[in-house]
Amino acid sequence: MYQITFSNQSMDELNKLEILEQMQLVERITNLTPQQLARPREPLGKFHREGKTLYRLRAGEFRLYFEVSEDLINNHYMLHKNTLTDFIVRTKLPLSEEQLVEQHQSFWKYLETLSKNH
C-alpha cells in the first residue's frame, strides 16, 4: 500500500466532492499495486515528461495524474474527464499549474467572445 500526497489543485477538486465520492477516488489510487504500475493497463496509463514517469488513472468522472517514488504516490492533478485541461496534460503539451487553474473558465469565455463576433 502506498502513502498518497495530493497537490493543492488535487485537494481543491477533492474537497468539492461528497465524502463518499472522495473515499472512492482515494481508494482507487491507494489500491494500486507495484505490478499494476509496472505494466499499466486501462484504466491506468503511463507516460514520460521532462525525465519523469507520470501515470494517469481513469476514475469515474476524473483523471488522476501522479508520480510514484518508493512507497509514495504524489498526485499532481485531479481533472474532470473530457476537459481541455485533461487533453492538454494527456497529450503532453506544456502547461503550468497556474494555467491549469485559470484556463478552464477563461478558455470558455474566449470561445463565447468568438461566437458573439460572428
CATH of the domain at 112: 3.30.2310.20
pLDDT recorded at residue 75: 95
**Sheet harboring 52-59: ordered strands across?**
3-6, 72-80, 62-69, 52-59, 44-49
Domain residues for the domain of 87 are 3-116
Q: Report pTM.
A: 0.74
Q: Which residues contact 110 (CB under 8 A, 6 or more apart)?
A: none
**Predicted confidence pLDDT, tens digits, the chain (118 residues):** 789 999 999 999 999 999 999 999 999 999 999 999 999 999 999 988 778 899 999 999 999 999 999 899 999 999 988 887 777 777 765 555 555 555 555 655 655 666 565 4
Count of domains in the chain? 1
